[in-house]
Amino acid sequence: MQFKQIGSNVRANQSGFTLIELIVVIVILGILAATALPRFADMGDNARFAKMQAARGAVQSAMNIAHGEALVVGGTPATISMEGTDNVAMAFNYPTAAAIATAAGLGTDYTVTVAAGVATIADNSVAACRFTYTQATNATTPPAVTTPALGSC
C-alpha cells in the first residue's frame, strides 16, 4: 500500500511581510509625519504667547490688588506697600507705569520700557511680543492693559 502525502503541492506558510506591505506602511507613516510636523514646529510661538498672557494677568492682578490696598488706606496715597514690595508709586489709586512691573513681580524674562505714562512689557527673546500698561490719568478711569498679539510672538 502506497501512502500519498497530502498537501505536498502547497507552499510552506508565509512568515513576515511582503515588500508591498512594508512600502504602504512607510508611505502612511510619511504622510502622518508630514501633517504633524508643522503643528509641533509652531509650539514656540504659542508658548511665548502664553507666557505673555501670564505676565499680563500678573499685571492686572497687581493693579487690582494695589487699587484695593489704596482704597483700604483711604485718600489717594502716593505710595503703598504690597507683599514683598515697599513703596509702590501710585497715581489716582493705581500703580504708575514705572511701578507696575515691580508690583506685578515680573522677573528678568521681560524688558520694561516706560515713556509718558505707558509701560511696554516685552519678551526678552522676541521684542515684538509685548503688551502695554497705560497708567490712570484721572480718578474715574482705570489703567488700560492691552492684549499681546499671537502673531507677534
pLDDT at 37: 75
Cα atoms in the Cβ-side hemisphere of radius 13 Å centred on 12: 2
Radius of gyration of the chain (CA): 32
Q: What distance lies between CA 92 and its chain's CA centroid?
A: 31
Rounded Cα–Cα distance for residues 70 and 134 (Å) = 18
Please choose, from the candidates 89, 95, 146, the residue with its C-alpha nearest in 3D space to the C-alpha of residue 121. 146
The three cell numbers locating residue 124: 526678552
pLDDT at 82: 85
Rounded Cα–Cα distance for residues 59 and 57 (Å) = 5
pLDDT at 42: 66
pLDDT at 4: 58
pLDDT at 75: 87
Largest separation between any pair of C-alpha atoms in the chain: 120
Which residues fall within 8 angstroms of residue 152, CB to CB, at 6 or more apart?
126, 128, 129, 130
pLDDT at 43: 76
The three cell numbers locating residue 53: 498672557
Asked if 130 contacts 106 with a C-beta cutoff of 8 angstroms, the reply is: no
Segments of the chain scoring below 70 in pLDDT: 1-14, 39-42
